[in-house]
């Protein structure tokens, strides 16, 4: 194969790297390339990098570095569905999209305006870091509360809500000159299997897809979304043999021809088990391009994928003209992005310059989606701050200074962390799940950080928190309940709560949300003799 063809093929790969500068800082070395290999692949012509991890200042330096390593424009992207601060410390961290989906029920006009501001904030923060592509909006309709992987990442639970808000977000992002990417086509909302772990199978017929799954994608395509990402799932009504990512009837027949989308089609990460567990890295890349994808995201073996694609061209499975058209789409997309130059992050006026997050929007979103019931709790000396999270060692929302820890500690409560898999506080009695004798005496404040997340395999619905609440109430030890994240858990706990119990729900899990929640349900003010407080 000619070097020209090799560079053409390389242009269609997007590989993963750490946002940190040093190899020793990589958090996920299994997936994040070492610098020497990353630089070598970029010099071969690889056309894109997806970044994860690092502070804003460091990611700004990283994007400058990547551009300096190559002589061609790069697509530089990140999964920042909840604001850039979700992934990169120091940027704006916003409530999950489903929070606005719930607001849309009562105030659709305000929800849409906030969704567009959400997109604009995300785009501006991305530009400040030197990114030119945001892997959002999630266009999946989360009509299955048990969905372990989409869940609060979706913009809505109905086609109308998801369509309105995803389109508004897309307008906001792309108005800043940053590319948006609708995902996961043709719809990952009604699944109970995480495609990071296995291959979901959806049995819906075409009529159901037209009514529920497809409208949000049609809405963002009409809005001019730059890219669409595929879903790793089986839709037997469209293709009984191959998952959507590798299916020509889905990508070419449905997305290109029927829906008329002529932008970039990018695969979801090919290292995910739904694909990697069934196909080799090279064959998966070839099948995706055969199906009609333009870009191959995170192949399990980048060099193996390059070799397999070259072999497929030589064998006549792939045509050079098809690959050239994909490369043209990539270049057309880059031309839309205002950060495609080699001058580095637009909003950084020097290496390491700090950026200012949009705290006004972040706070407005938290306050607009906060739910509080019952009167405020007045703590006395002693008690327990019972905090549940998936993994205490990997919880960016729970630094040592997190309000969920320091506010109760200041009120005299001892913190007890429960991880999702931790057996230590459980009694084994389904009617009285907590082993209260293992906890300090006094009132118990229950704080639950629960939401769907990739790689978890569940949305946390199987844990006995309603029984815990009843148990603590019966023992007259329940001080209050807070749910951060899952609206479904919050709704399921309502029947168990006695009237007047201090309780609150926030879709956000970040420290800003914790501060607002705890300020709302905990007070140190004692009532005056007249019945009024100061």
- By annotation, the residues acting in catalysis are 196, 268
Contact (Cβ atoms closer than 8 angstroms) between residue 137 and residue 169: yes
Contact (Cβ atoms closer than 8 angstroms) between residue 149 and residue 196: yes
Closest CA to 408 of 432, 367, 442, 368: 442
For residue 129, the cross-strand partners are none
Helix or strand or coil: residue 406? helix
Phi-psi region of 460 (alpha: psi -120 to 50; beta: other; left: phi over 0): left
- The structure tokens listed for 186 are 């043709």
CA distance 360 to 233: 39
Contact (Cβ atoms closer than 8 angstroms) between residue 529 and residue 116: no
- Element containing residue 235 per DSSP (H, E): strand 234-235
CA distance 288 to 251: 9
| CA 153 to chain CA mean position, Å | 6
Q: Look at the block and give the residue holding tokens 């030197």.
A: 130
Convert 316-356 into a string of H (helix), E (strand) and C (coil): CCCCHHHHHHHHHHHHHHHHHCCCCCCCCCCCCCCCCCCCC
Q: For residue 472, how many other CB atoms are within 10 A of its CB?
A: 23
Query: Parallel, antiparallel, or unpaired: how do β-strands 371-373 and 502-506 relate?
Result: antiparallel
49-to-25, 52, 87, 133, 189 alpha-carbon distances in Å? 17, 10, 15, 10, 27
Q: Look at the block and give the residue holding tokens 């199987």.
A: 462
């Amino acid at each position: 194969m000619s070097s020209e063809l090799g560079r053409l093929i390389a242009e269609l790969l997007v590989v993963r790297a750490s946002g940190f500068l040093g190899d020793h800082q990589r958090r996920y070395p299994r997936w994040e390339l070492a610098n020497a290999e990353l630089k070598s692949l970029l010099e071969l012509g690889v056309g894109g990098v997806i970044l994860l991890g690092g502070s804003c200042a460091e990611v700004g330096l990283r994007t400058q570095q990547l551009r300096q390593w190559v002589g061609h424009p790069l697509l530089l992207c990140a999964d920042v569905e909840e604001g850039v601060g979700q992934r990169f410390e120091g940027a704006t961290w916003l409530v999950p999209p489903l929070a606005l989906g719930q607001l849309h029920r009562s105030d659709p006009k305000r929800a849409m305006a906030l969704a567009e501001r959400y997109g604009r904030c995300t785009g501006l923060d991305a530009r400040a870091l030197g990114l030119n592509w945001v892997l959002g909006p999630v266009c999946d309709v989360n009509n299955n509360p048990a969905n372990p992987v989409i869940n609060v990442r979706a913009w809505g639970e109905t086609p109308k809500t998801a369509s309105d808000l995803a389109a508004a977000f897309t307008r906001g992002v792309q108005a800043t000159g940053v590319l948006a990417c609708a995902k996961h086509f043709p719809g990952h909302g009604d699944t109970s299997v995480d495609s990071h772990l296995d291959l979901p199978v959806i049995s819906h017929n075409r009529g159901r897809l037209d009514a529920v799954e497809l409208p949000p994608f049609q809405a963002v395509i009409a809005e001019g979304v730059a890219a669409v990402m595929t879903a790793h799932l089986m839709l037997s009504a469209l293709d009984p043999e191959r998952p959507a990512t590798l299916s020509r009837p889905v990508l070419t027949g449905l997305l290109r021809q029927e829906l008329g989308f002529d932008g970039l089609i990018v695969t979801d990460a090919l290292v995910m088990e739904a694909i990697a567990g069934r196909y080799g890295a090279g064959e998966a890349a070839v099948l995706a391009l055969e199906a009609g994808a333009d870009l191959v995201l995170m192949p399990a073996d980048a060099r193996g994928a390059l070799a397999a694609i070259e072999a497929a061209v030589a064998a006549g499975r792939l045509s050079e003209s098809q690959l050239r058209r994909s490369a043209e789409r990539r270049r057309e997309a880059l031309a839309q992005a205002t950060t495609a130059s080699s001058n580095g992050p637009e909003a950084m006026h020097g290496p390491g310059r700090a950026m200012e997050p949009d705290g006004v929007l972040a706070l407005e979103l938290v306050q607009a989606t906060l739910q509080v019931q019952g009167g405020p709790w007045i703590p006395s000396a002693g008690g327990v701050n019972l905090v549940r999270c998936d993994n205490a060692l990997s919880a960016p929302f729970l630094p040592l200074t997190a309000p969920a820890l320091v506010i109760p500690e200041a009120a005299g409560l001892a913190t007890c962390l429960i991880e999702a898999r931790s057996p230590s506080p459980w009694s084994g009695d389904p009617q009285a799940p907590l082993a209260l004798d293992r906890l300090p005496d006094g009132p118990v404040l229950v704080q639950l950080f629960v939401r769907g997340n990739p790689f978890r395999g569940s949305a946390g619905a199987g844990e006995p928190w309603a029984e815990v609440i009843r148990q603590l109430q019966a023992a007259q030890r329940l001080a209050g309940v807070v749910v951060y994240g899952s609206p479904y858990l919050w709704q399921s706990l309502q029947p168990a709560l006695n009237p007047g119990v201090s309780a609150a729900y926030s879709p956000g899990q970040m420290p800003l949300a914790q501060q607002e929640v705890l300020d709302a349900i905990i007070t140190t003010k004692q009532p005056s003799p007249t019945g009024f407080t100061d």
